Amino acid sequence: MKQNRYFLMAIITLMPLNISANNKVVPAENLPHSAKTFIEENYKGHKILRVEKDWNSYDCFLANGTKIEFSKKGIWEEVEQNLTDAIVPKTIQNYVKDNFPNKTIKKIEKERYGYEVELTNDVSMRFNKQGTFIRMKD
């Protein structure tokens, strides 16, 4: 009985390692067309350094330090660093400018309810799909 418990604990401990080991580096040409279009429209002239693929997404790393996560269909889900105005809804931009005038958005993530935004001072906020502020994230 004690052996089974140790075996189960070992499996649970090692499972995250196995999941993360499934990320593999793939050529940028393997990105879906919509992901390539997104990069071309928002980060024209910035070289793609690396693309990692797992079972349901692509992580794309650009030479300017930007990291973009795309769904397997090529729809952006998260952008970190060097966000362009075209990515962040105008209502969110205005809220941040009005309430945090000396801070910028360093990360935006699409969520089921809308967006999660992280500022350069590590404050995280949630917005609905229309870009209306919901609350600060704990």
Give the model's pLDDT for residue 16.
Answer: 52
Gyration radius of the chain over CA positions: 18
43: helix, coil or strand?
coil
Q: Which domains, and CATH codes, for the chain?
A: 24-136 (3.40.1420.30)
- Predicted confidence (pLDDT) per residue in 109-127, tens digit: 999 999 999 999 999 999 9
26: helix, coil or strand?
strand
Q: Which helix (H) or strand (E) holds 2?
A: helix 2-20
Q: Which helix (H) or strand (E) holds 7?
A: helix 2-20
- Predicted confidence (pLDDT) per residue in 56-99, tens digit: 999 999 999 999 999 999 999 999 999 999 999 999 999 999 99
Query: Is the model's pLDDT at 5 over the cut of 70?
Result: no
Give the model's pLDDT for residue 10.
Answer: 46
Query: Is the model's pLDDT at 23 over the cut of 90?
Result: no
Query: Is the model's pLDDT at 8 over the cut of 50?
Result: no
Mark residue 29 as left, alpha or beta (left: phi above 0; alpha: psi -120 to 50; beta: remaining): alpha
Query: What's the CA gap between 86 and 92, in Å, rounded?
Result: 12
This prediction's pTM: 0.82
What one-character-per-residue DSSP string does 61-91 give?
EETTS-EEEEETTS-EEEEESS--TTTS-HH
Reported confidence tier of residue 137, pLDDT bands at 50, 70, 90: confident
Cβ-proximal residues to 94 (8 Å cutoff; 6+ apart), any chain = none
Query: Is the model's pLDDT at 37 over the cut of 50?
Result: yes
